[in-house]
Structure formats: C-alpha cells, structure tokens
Amino acid sequence: MCQLTGLCDVRGNNLTGTIPDNIGNCTSFEILDISYNQITGEIPYNIGFLQVATLSLQGNRLTGKIPEVIGLMQALAVLDLSENELVGPIPPIFGNLSYTGKLYLHGNKLTGSIPSELGNMSKLSYLQLNDNKLVGRIPAELGKLEQLFELNLANNVLEGPIPHDISSCTALNQFNVHGNRLTGSIPLTFRNLQSLTYLNLSRNYFSGRIAIELGRIINLDTLDLSSNNFSGPVPASVGDLEHLLTLNLSGNHLNGSLPAEFGNLRSVQTIDMSFNYLSGSIPGELGQLQNLAALILNNNNLKGTIPDQLTNCFSLATLGFAGNPLLCGNWLGSICSPATKSRALFSRTAVVCMALGFITLLSMVIVAVYKSNQPKDLTMGSGKSGQGPPKLVILHMDMAVHTFDDIMRITENLNEKYIIGYGASSTLYKCILKNSRPMAIKRLYTRYPNDMREFETELETVGRIKHRNLVSLHGYSLSPHGNLLFYDYMENGSLWDLLHGPSKKVKLDWETRLKIAVGAAQGLAYLHHDCNPRIIHRDVKSSNILLDENFEAHLSDFGVAKFIPTAETHASTYVLGTIGYIDPEYARTSRVTEKSDVYSFGVVLLELLTGKKAVEQDSNLHQLVCF
C-alpha cells in the first residue's frame, strides 16, 4: 500500500480498526483521505512523518489528543480532523503550517483556548473550530489572516468582545460565532468587510445599539443578530442591504418603529423581528417585497391595522403577528372583534380574491411576454379571440404552412408512440411535418404554478436569442394538451444518452468529444458575454446538451434560466439545478453567477473524459479530483 501516491478513494466505506502506527513509513503518499469510515483509536504520532498535501480524517471515531507533530507537516494544504471525538487543546505549533489553506477541527471535544499562533498561518482561507468546548477570547492575531474566507467559531464557550482586528480580514466571506458567551458591541470597523455575505452573531450576550455601519456591508445575504441584548432602534441603513435573503433580529431589546426602508430589501425571503419592543405600525412598504416568504413580528408592541399592501407579497407563506395586543387582526386577544370576519385581512374571502388576482396578473404577464417575443404575428386557426382551435404562434417561417391541427393529426394528438424522452417537467415528442425537417415538441406540464413559470422563462429566453450552439425555437402553442414548444429535432439525442443510455449506439471518439465540449462552451459563452442582460442557464448538464446529425452541441432547457443585468455581478435566488452539477458555493449562498454554470460545465467535461455519471452509487463525479 505504501507504494501508492495516496489514499483518496476509500471515503465512506465503513472501514474499521485503527490507523497503523507505521503509517509514517508511506513517504510516497501525497494524499491521505480516509474520511467517513468507522476508524477508532488515537491518531498515531508517526503520521507526522508523512509528506502529504491533504490529510483528511473527517467523520470517524478517533479519540485522544491531536499529535503536535502534525504541526511539522510543512507540505499540508488541507488538514481535516473534524467530526471525531478528539479532546485536549489545539496545538499552538499549528501556527507553523504556513502553506495550509484549510483547517477543519469542528465537531470534536476540543478544550482550552484558541492559540494566537494560528494567526501565523498566512495562507489560511478556511478556519472551522465550531462545535467544540473552546474557552477564552477570540485572539486578535486572527486579524493577520489576509486570505481568510470563512471563520466559524460557533457553539463553543468563548467570552469577551470581537477583536477589532478581525476587520483586517478583508477577504472574509462568512463569520459565525453563534452560541457562545461573547459580549460587547459589533465593531464599527466591520464596515470594511465588503466581501462578507454571512454574519451570524446569534445566541450571545452582545449589547448596545446596532451600528448603522452594518448597512455598508453591501454584499450581506444573511444577517442574524438574534437572541442577544441589543437595544435602541433598528437602523434604517439595514434597508440598504439589497442582497439580503435572511434578516433575524429577534429576541433582543429593540424599540422604535419598523423602518420603512425595509421595503428596499427586494431579495429578502425571511424577516424575523419577534420578541422585541417594537412599536408603531407595520409599514406598507413591506408590500413591495415580492420574494418575502416569512414575516415574523410576534411579541412586540405594534399597533394599528395590518397594511393591505401585504397582499402583494405573493410568496408570503408564514406570518407571525400574535403577542401584539394593539395590532388589529383575526386572533385571540386582538382589539379587532374576531366575529367581524369581513375585516380580517387573511379571511377566506381575501384569500380567494388574492388567488383570483394572482391568476389574472399571471395571465396578463404571459400575454405580454408572448407578444414581446413574437417576430411576426403569424397565427393559424380562428382569428376570433377566445374561440376556435388553439393558436400556433410561428417564430420561424419554415412552420408557416402548418397549422395546429396538422401537428395534432401527424402525432395522433401526441400519442405516446411518438415520445422520444422525458424531462423533470416535460415530455418530448417527435413530429415529421410534410416537406419539412423533423421537429421536437416539448410538452410542459401545467399541474403546478412553477410549471407555468418555467414555460414563461423558456419562451422569454430562447425566443429572444439565436446561436448555432443553442436550440432554436420555431413556435409555441397554448393548447388543451398543455403548453407546447417546437424545436429542431436533434438526431443524436442528448450527450447523456450517448454516454450513459442503455443502447450507447454511437461510440464517441476523442475528436468528437472535443467538438461537443467546444460547441457547448461556445453556447455558454454567448449566454454569459454576448447577451444583454446576461443569461445564467442554472441547469447545465449532459442531458441538456443535444447533438444534431453532425454531433454539433446545442444547449437546451432554459426553464430555470436567470437574467442578470450588466451592472450586477450576481443574483440572489432560490437554488435550482440538478444534484451532482450544482455549484457548492451557489448552493451555500443562494447567489448565482456565471461561475455557477462554469462549475456545472466542468462536471460535464468530467463525464466526457471518464464516461461516468455525475452521481453514481452515492458518489459524486467531482470527487475524482483529489487535492
């Protein structure tokens, strides 16, 4: 075994026993990754003789102390001892690991203080010490870590204030000290952390006012200051955090009114201001928050009526108003009579009216989208609105001689024998029109509201762009059979079919694989760099790369695509895509950029190179890339 260059393919194999004492003799190892097994015992001292770049023992049952000799392993880039049962202090000698970029010690039973020597790990990007029993103060020396991206110290017993020196970590993206005994206030110098997207100070003993400078950390998508002793008014500057997805200030001593500026938080999905001393009325500006899913304001001193504008928040599913005795609503203890049902904001009648209004608005949007994407107003069938057969809207002249009835007759009303494939929300049919190339008909399901949104998005996206490596939309129709999209038929199906399908009738040589990779990359580059606004596909995968008779690649399925204006670097959104292809950073932050598509395309390239599936037998293809 010691003749190998490393062990990185034994993760998650339920291996038992202990790590051999002579493991240090395997000097040819470059990687030792035995994560997620059932290995017990202590980490042997001789492990320090290895010259590995990655040492990952995560997710086992290792006990005892961390050997100090690990601090002499100068080649280490990744050290992961997390999720074990290790005890004792963190060895200060770890400060000598000047090339280590990732240090994961979370999920153990480590005690003692955080060594100030860790501030000497100049290459450190990830430091996770959460879920241990660490005590003492956060060392100011951590402020010397200029490349630090994530600092997680949650669920320990740390005390004292946050050192102002942390503000010198200008690359910091995530800072989590949840569940400690920290005191003091938020350092004003945190305004310098312009890369910060996640700030969690919850369940501590912080006090004082919430600094208005927080509103200058413009990239924040999560701000959690809950369960502390903050007091005073909520600063209006929080409304400047345009990328914020989660705002939790619950369980403090905040007073004053809810800032009307919260109406500027256009991306926010959750606002929790419960268990404070807020007064005044609920600002109507909250009705501008189209993505708001949870508004929790219970146990305050709010008064007045709930603003009608909240009915504009179509995503709103969770509401919390109880514990505000002066707030007019339909619950026990409200100053409004529960018997006066007509005044209850969310009575049955109001819900029905909201649903009807939403359907009407959605219909208007669909009509507007269709008309704006229609190059020529060519329709077949009845010219009377609302009467006659379904209309076939033509986008390419090669379909101008055909009617909807022609297509239904040829496909026998979309008989199952013409099915050539299935998608997550669609079925594909093949139709050979007279004197025309074969067409592919994409029939989208309309059982759920998001199915209609996918139809709108695909129509808006593909209907406005044209490129040799993107599928070409020839027409569409709203019919009793569902919403239909008409595309070019791709003779060789999808890349997934050729690589993993049951028949694998075509053997792809390396030249063809390269041609497919280049074609797909050119289509993706067009979406990212030549479209205005830029288009993020969000579901790049081998089954969405279709191949014509010449094996030319065509990107397809734009049902979850996202438009990003030129002036913006990213979009905050719900995570969508396919497991195995989703960019981990996008999944963690809900912020999608062109890089998210590039990551997914990288997985496709691995499929092309290896012939393996992205997810197979509980393993991900990207795990082949050991580092």
Query: Which letter does DSSP use for residue 425 in this model?
Result: S
**Sign of the alpha-carbon dihedral angle for 348, 349, 353, 359:** positive
Question: What is 129-181 written as a DSSP string?
Answer: --SS--EEPPPGGGGG-TT--EEE--SSEEEEPPPGGGGG-TT--EEE--SSE
On whether the CB atoms of residues 483 and 444 are closer than 8 A, the answer is yes
Instruction: Beginning with the edge strand found earlier in the chain, give each strand of the sheet holding 157-160 in spatial order.
Output: 135-136, 157-160, 181-182
- Which of 539, 557, 583, 597 does the annotation list as catalytic? 539
Instruction: Please state, in angstroms and rounded to a whole number, the distance separating the CA atoms of residues 6 and 540.
Output: 32
Instruction: Please state, in angstroms and rounded to a whole number, the distance separating the CA atoms of residues 258 and 289.
Output: 15
Give the pair of three-digit tokens for residue 272: 């929790």
Residue corresponding to tokens 């209850």: 344
Give the pair of three-digit tokens for residue 594: 């062109």
SS3 state of residue 538: coil
On whether the CB atoms of residues 398 and 378 are closer than 8 A, the answer is no
Closest CA to 476 of 410, 367, 397, 392: 392
Instruction: Please state, in angstroms and rounded to a whole number, the distance separating the CA atoms of residues 432 and 437.
Output: 7
Please tell me whether 442 is known to bind a ligand: yes
Amino acid identity of 65?
K
- What φ, ψ does residue 451 adopt, rounded to 5°? -65, -40
Residue 539 designated active-site: yes
Q: How many residues are there in the chain? A: 627
What ranges in 248-377 are assigned the alpha helix state H? 348-372
| Binding-site residue set for ATP | 442
Q: List, by residue number, the catalytic residues.
A: 539
